[in-house]
């Protein structure tokens, strides 16, 4: 914008990054990928504090505090629903809401803090006794089952496990260019205590045939269109995962009846794999010879490239593979992004969670100097297989100013969270980059 004297007035660095990131990089970063002195001062001014580790900032990196796009600067709207914490609404048709990382501090996720992911309409609350709800096991079986929940409870041994459940698109907002779907941060995750019966016990009672190699799942949620002939979602899995000891037909959440919004009176829990397999309002399980062909199967749905594709390109998913075990990820629950701390703060006690699908987490590290050095955190073991793990530890800061907490997990197979979202795909599955939280000390 011209000044009153006619001279061109340069925009602030923050405005440049919002409107013209290429020009901002050219002005801010030298040829060797280090911050120009003037740009470092400008960034500090935009942040409202000096950047003690500024010279160690990787080339081309925008501080996390400045990295929000203008349309998201105010943040997503907050859910106001009885029985639910203030989750972040990512979509209202269907209803989708994310749990802020700081609300995931409990070792067992409460129903109030459990994220919401729907694919269709929320069905009406069933009238009468929930124990009369019926579940069928059909298809490649010797004896099809049609059981009420009361019969299931009386006939099969109960099981209680702490189990992680994570949306397949968790972390989607990290992909560049942006992909289709709800732009999740890291909060499409929960680890609650589920009580129910093992799916494998139901399958054994039905007498699975040797040809039963896959499942198909069906629920009572209507399609968004209201067309009764269409499914909201109907996914399936290989029989080996169905027979896993932690795959449950769940009847209770943290010792109480499952809330309606989370699939009451009965749902599947398929821990460690995409949450779309954990069918809510469960009515039927079909055993099949071939992979299921319901809504949410095939093409690019819950599938990722076997070989990398060009980010932003079109692809029909023909050469993709189904998502199975979710990738390693961690969250920081002790400090929110944008936290301001008193002047003189020199030590931070950090806490968070980490998980790795079917695997466990072997290590958790934190950096406060833009990844130049990393400090190992204390890492507890899981309460049981498929439960997340608590990590904690202390870091020190050299002075007041602007800092970023970078945190990353490494799974039991040696795979570490990458610095940037990898294996871009059209629907944005599997993004698990290192996360960054901005802090201001004494500002």
User: How much is the average pLDDT of 88-108?
Assistant: 97
pLDDT above 70 for 30: no
Count CB atoms within 10 A of the CB of residue 2. Answer: 8
User: How much is the average pLDDT of 299-326?
Assistant: 96
Specify if 5 maps to a domain. Answer: no
Higher-confidence residue: 265 or 18?
A: 265
Q: Which domain holds residue 52?
A: 13-71
CA dihedral 304, 309, 314, 315 (to 10 degrees): -50
CATH number at residue 237: 3.90.420.10
Specify if 6 maps to a domain. Answer: no
Same-domain pairing of 238 and 359: no
Same-domain pairing of 23 and 170: no
Same-domain pairing of 251 and 197: yes
Specify if 95 maps to a domain. Answer: yes
**70-79, 225-234, 394-403: lowest mean pLDDT where?**
70-79
pLDDT above 60 for 10: no
Please tell me which of 16-25, 27-36, 263-272 the model is most confident about, judged by mean pLDDT. 263-272
pLDDT at residue 307, rounded to an integer: 96
pLDDT at residue 28, rounded to an integer: 47
Question: For the segment 218-252, what is each residue's pLDDT rounded down to a tens digit?
Answer: 999 999 999 999 999 999 999 999 999 999 999 99
Q: Which of 266, 299, 322 is the last residue of a domain?
A: 322
Same-domain pairing of 144 and 166: yes
pLDDT above 80 for 305: yes
Specify if 83 maps to a domain. Answer: no
pLDDT above 70 for 395: yes
In this structure, what DSSP letter does residue 130 have? G
pLDDT at residue 27, rounded to an integer: 47
Pairing status of strand 347-355 against strand 329-332: antiparallel
User: How much is the average pLDDT of 160-181?
Assistant: 97
Mean pLDDT of the chain: 91
CATH number at residue 420: 2.60.40.650
Question: For the segment 400-431, what is each residue's pLDDT rounded down to a tens digit?
Answer: 999 999 999 999 999 999 999 999 999 999 99
User: How much is the average pLDDT of 309-336?
Assistant: 97
Distances from the Cα of 397 to the Cα of 83, 340, 350, 367, 393, angstroms: 39, 14, 13, 11, 14
pLDDT at residue 362, rounded to an integer: 98
Query: Per-residue confidence at 297, pLDDT binned at 50, 70, 90?
Result: very high
**To which residue do tokens 């954990």 refer?**
278
Q: Which of 37, 71, 105 is the last residue of a domain?
A: 71
Same-domain pairing of 336 and 315: no
Q: CA-CA distance, 273 to 324, in Å (whole number)? A: 5
Same-domain pairing of 127 and 267: yes
Same-domain pairing of 340 and 310: no
Same-domain pairing of 113 and 250: yes
Specify if 8 maps to a domain. Answer: no
Query: Per-residue confidence at 7, pLDDT binned at 50, 70, 90?
Result: very low
Query: Per-residue confidence at 23, pLDDT binned at 50, 70, 90?
Result: low
DSSP 213-280: -EEEEEESPBPTT--TTSBS-----BHHHHTSTT-EEEEEETTEEPPGGGTTT-EEE-TTSBGGGS-S
Same-domain pairing of 245 and 389: no
Same-domain pairing of 410 and 290: no
pLDDT at residue 20, rounded to an integer: 62
pLDDT at residue 69, rounded to an integer: 41
Which DSSP helix (H) or strand (E) runs through 200?
Answer: helix 199-206
Same-domain pairing of 145 and 244: yes
**34-48, 161-175, 257-271, 360-374: lowest mean pLDDT where?**
34-48
pLDDT at residue 63, rounded to an integer: 85
Pairing status of strand 435-441 against strand 339-341: parallel
Specify if 76 maps to a domain. Answer: no
pLDDT above 90 for 89: yes
pLDDT at residue 37, rounded to an integer: 55
Q: Which of 298, 322, 346 is the last residue of a domain?
A: 322
Specify if 1 maps to a domain. Answer: no
Same-domain pairing of 19 and 37: yes
User: How much is the average pLDDT of 330-348?
Assistant: 96
Residues 6 or more apart whose Cβ sits within 8 Å of residue 245: 198, 200
pLDDT at residue 67, rounded to an integer: 67
Q: CA-CA distance, 404 to 338, in Å (whole number)? A: 10
Domains in the chain, number: 3
Residues 6 or more apart whose Cβ sits within 8 Å of residue 209: 140, 141, 142, 287
pLDDT at residue 4, rounded to an integer: 41
Specify if 79 maps to a domain. Answer: no
Higher-confidence residue: 61 or 177?
A: 177
Query: Per-residue confidence at 55, pLDDT binned at 50, 70, 90?
Result: confident
């Amino acid at each position: 914008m011209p000044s009153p004297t006619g001279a061109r007035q340069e925009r602030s660095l923050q405005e440049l990054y919002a409107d013209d990131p290429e020009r901002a990089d050219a002005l801010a970063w030298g040829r060797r990928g280090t911050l120009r002195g003037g740009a470092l001062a400008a960034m500090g001014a935009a942040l409202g504090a000096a950047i003690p580790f500024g010279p160690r900032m990787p080339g081309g990196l925008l501080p996390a505090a400045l990295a929000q796009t203008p349309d998201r600067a105010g943040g997503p709207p907050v859910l106001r629903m009885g029985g639910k914490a203030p989750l972040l609404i990512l979509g209202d048709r269907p209803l989708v809401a994310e749990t802020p990382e700081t609300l995931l501090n409990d070792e067992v996720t409460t129903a109030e803090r459990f994220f919401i992911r729907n694919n269709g309409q929320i069905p009406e609350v069933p009238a009468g006794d929930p124990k009369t709800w019926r579940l069928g096991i059909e298809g490649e079986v010797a004896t099809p089952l049609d059981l009420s929940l009361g019969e299931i409870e009386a006939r099969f041994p109960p099981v209680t496990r702490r189990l992680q459940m994570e949306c397949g698109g968790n972390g989607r907002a990290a992909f560049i260019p942006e992909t289709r779907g709800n732009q999740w941060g890291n909060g499409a995750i929960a680890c609650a205590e589920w009580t129910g019966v093992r799916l494998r016990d139901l399958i054994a009672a039905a007498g699975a045939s040797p040809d039963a190699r896959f499942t198909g799942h069906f629920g009572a949620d209507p399609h968004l269109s209201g067309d009764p002939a269409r499914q909201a979602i109907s996914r399936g899995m290989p029989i080996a995962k169905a027979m896993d000891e932690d795959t449950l037909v769940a009847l209770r959440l943290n010792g109480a009846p499952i809330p309606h919004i989370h699939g009451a009176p009965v749902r599947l829990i398929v821990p460690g794999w995409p949450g779309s397999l954990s069918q809510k309002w469960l009515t039927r399980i079909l055993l099949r010879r071939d992979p299921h062909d319901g809504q949410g199967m095939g093409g690019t749905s819950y599938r990722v490239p076997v070989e990398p594709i060009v980010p932003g390109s079109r692809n029909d998913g023909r050469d993709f593979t189904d998502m199975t075990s979710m990738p390693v990820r961690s969250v920081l629950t002790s400090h929110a992004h944008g936290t301001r701390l008193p002047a003189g703060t020199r030590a931070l006690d950090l806490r968070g969670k980490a998980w790795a699908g079917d695997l466990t987490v072997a290590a958790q590290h934190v950096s406060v100097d833009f990844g130049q050095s990393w400090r190992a955190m204390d890492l507890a073991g899981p309460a049981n297989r498929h439960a997340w793990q608590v990590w904690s530890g202390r870091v020190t800061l050299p002075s007041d100013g602007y800092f970023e907490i970078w945190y990353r997990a490494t799974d039991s197979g040696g795979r570490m969270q990458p610095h940037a979202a990898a294996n871009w795909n059209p629907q944005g599955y599997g993004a698990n980059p290192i996360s960054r939280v901005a802090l201001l000390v004494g500002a």
